[in-house]
Structure 1
Amino acid sequence: MKKKISIYWPLAVIVPLAAVAYLHAYGDAATHAPLAARQVTAELARTVSYGYITDGGTAKELPVVRRGAPFGASEAS
């Protein structure tokens, strides 16, 4: 009995680790699915209402955000 345990203990460790790695790698795939049509429409409406897209259908240039700047800080500060 002692010989069987010493032979198969690596298998008892590797199989659960492989299962966890598989679930970790392929478990997030469902969360990256394309958005539904109603969600895309809502996102488009939100960008238009924020003024990121103009009436002509062109995108407005967004201001550059500096790293480390507090949220809502203006360019002059």
Structure 2
Amino acid sequence: MITDYEAGISAYELAEKYGHNRGTIMKHLAGAGIRSRVAVPTDDEILQLRELRAEGLGYKTIARRVGRNHKTIRKHLTV
């Protein structure tokens, strides 16, 4: 799991691969001393998020579409 994460596989992909939820994966990685990598959305991604929100989509729906956490979406749209 650590090798996969360090190779660039996302925590969501690891969760699916290993049959655990993302939180469990992150706890195991943290326990092994691996720091979480959080990718900040680019300006283009934020523009896309705003467009999707303007279409009336909710944060969770947008998150599923773009492969991000709904809290990240809300954070960048309520600034």
TM normalised by structure 1 equals 0.30
TM normalised by structure 2 equals 0.29
- Please identify which structure carries the higher helix content: 2
Q: Return the index of the structure with the highest Cα Rg.
A: 1
